[in-house]
Structure 1
């Protein structure tokens, strides 16, 4: 496959949930990759650290750190790994967040195996109108989540898109069993936790699963609350249209989550036992 074939549009990965809320969380990368603007180049794992992994590309091939250097971007050592539980795993969404600010979108994106984190729904309605994903403590869970290595400017830009509803917190790699595709351990990473808590399933009292079909989620919430349906209904399409256009409606809908008794006040990720 040539670099011309690696465009996000050709790969079907150019979707931007911020612009099309019912597509949230978007399609994630499924293999180690280097996002470079509108392209997603294969990144091949090898021992010796992420900076030594090799990038495919007719004009941009070679060790990752060398490729980043040719692009005028910081090497891996000058970046911070950030775990995505929602749309930040989507290259289209991440590129949108960066390029709309005029920032370079050269970002290594790698699926990483880890434990202790479940993916639920943040107990708020976001600016785009959707109910975004949020992590919660789940000691028995083993999952694969995308980790992006962001430089300082990129990290500040992504932080700004998450505040005030999320906080970025560090997680130690040994406690969460973070393992790279090379088999090497990741020593730690950041993750955004919800400052609002996570939504509970009223039937079980457990966190409601997040990161799936957004329209189905919103329809379920509307069916469960006549007040929410009156505010944002009758369906998921009307929900995102109304919520995206009106900050007051978003705030009122967020308050209704709590009034319905759906909110688990889980705003931290304590270290897993053992």
Structure 2
């Protein structure tokens, strides 16, 4: 593990995931959230709907991902509710030390779970940037979900959208997925933890002799250590049938 001084800001960035999300739909423009304009259907035309279930919902994360964007930017981010899924932790660490989110189907012929998510409508160029930030082919795949039950505020129901799904599988603790406590889900059946809680649970398993701050610092600053710990989580991960 790294022996350099621990930067509290590094630990705070990891622990703050999935970051603050507005209580209503918004337009991301000029690095911040703004009210949605009139004529929403016209704004969504020729864009790809992409489910945002973790930090991609948050204006501050979008500001980081598009901070150097050279083109005009106006991303509609609409609140919605997705049936039959929950938002759980993926079995990998991000470069900034967090355990990120992924969608995971709730088993059963007619599951009652309905999770609160957001849907972004992205242009082709914006989608390429988002793909690049998600580690496509390493940590996530972007897949089209068809036949889903997705109700979107101000728009109604749609039955298909893209989503970033973890290639590593769902983090397992005691053989069960762990939901994000920050993401409400009606009918949730799995245990839920906030980010500091899940990091501590994982640290206890992987690095019992370390402090939480020291563990997160090592994950962020040492790519080999991060890959080693991700591999350990992925070996026990749960994957949809």
Query: TM range, normalised to the smaller chain?
Result: 0.7 to 0.9
In structure 2, the CA distance between the partners of 1:183 and 1:76, relative to structure 1 (3 Å rule), is closer
8 Å Cα contact 1:17/1:23 also seen in 2: no
In 1, Cα distance between the equivalents of 2:13 and 2:126? 23
In 2, Cα distance between the equivalents of 1:110 and 1:17? 30
TM-score for the superposition, normalised by structure 2: 0.81
Q: How does 1:246-265 map to 2 (within 5 A)?
A: 246-258=222-234, 262-265=236-239
Q: Which runs of 5+ in 1 are unaligned?
A: 1-15, 44-54, 56-61, 67-74, 269-274
Q: Residue 142 of structure 2 aligns with which residue?
A: 168
Q: Residue 4 of structure 2 aligns with which residue?
A: none
8 Å Cα contact 2:81/2:114 also seen in 1: yes
8 Å Cα contact 2:11/2:216 also seen in 1: no
Higher normalized strand content (fraction of residues): 2
Residues 1:234 and 2:211 are matched in the alignment? yes
**Which is further off, 182-191 or 143-152?**
182-191
**Structure 1 runs of 4+ with >6 Å offset:** 16-19
8 Å Cα contact 2:207/2:215 also seen in 1: no
In structure 2, the CA distance between the partners of 1:228 and 1:94, relative to structure 1 (3 Å rule), is same
In structure 2, the CA distance between the partners of 1:20 and 1:165, relative to structure 1 (3 Å rule), is same
Residues 1:219 and 2:200 are matched in the alignment? yes
In 1, Cα distance between the equivalents of 2:11 and 2:46? 28
In structure 2, the CA distance between the partners of 1:242 and 1:92, relative to structure 1 (3 Å rule), is same
8 Å Cα contact 2:93/2:230 also seen in 1: yes
In 1, Cα distance between the equivalents of 2:47 and 2:170? 29
When Rg is computed on C-alpha atoms for both structures, the one with the higher figure is: 1
Q: Aligned-residue CA RMSD in angstroms?
A: 2.4
Deviations 1:29-79 (A, max 9, x none): 321211112332222xxxxxxxxxxx2xxxxxx42477xxxxxxxx42121
In 1, Cα distance between the equivalents of 2:237 and 2:170? 6
In 2, Cα distance between the equivalents of 1:130 and 1:215? 9
In 1, Cα distance between the equivalents of 2:91 and 2:61? 21
In structure 2, the CA distance between the partners of 1:211 and 1:193, relative to structure 1 (3 Å rule), is farther
TM-score for the superposition, normalised by structure 1: 0.72
In 2, Cα distance between the equivalents of 1:258 and 1:264? 8
Q: How does 1:1-274 map to 2 (within 5 A)?
A: 20-43=13-36, 55=37, 62-64=38-40, 75-138=43-106, 139-163=111-135, 164-172=138-146, 175-182=147-154, 184-202=156-174, 205-210=175-180, 212=182, 213-223=194-204, 225=205, 227-230=206-209, 233-235=210-212, 237-258=213-234, 262-266=236-240
| Greater RCO structure (CA 8 Å; 6+ sep) | 2
8 Å Cα contact 1:121/1:198 also seen in 2: yes
Aligned length: 216
Deviations 1:151-192 (A, max 9, x none): 1111111111112200011112xx321112236222421111
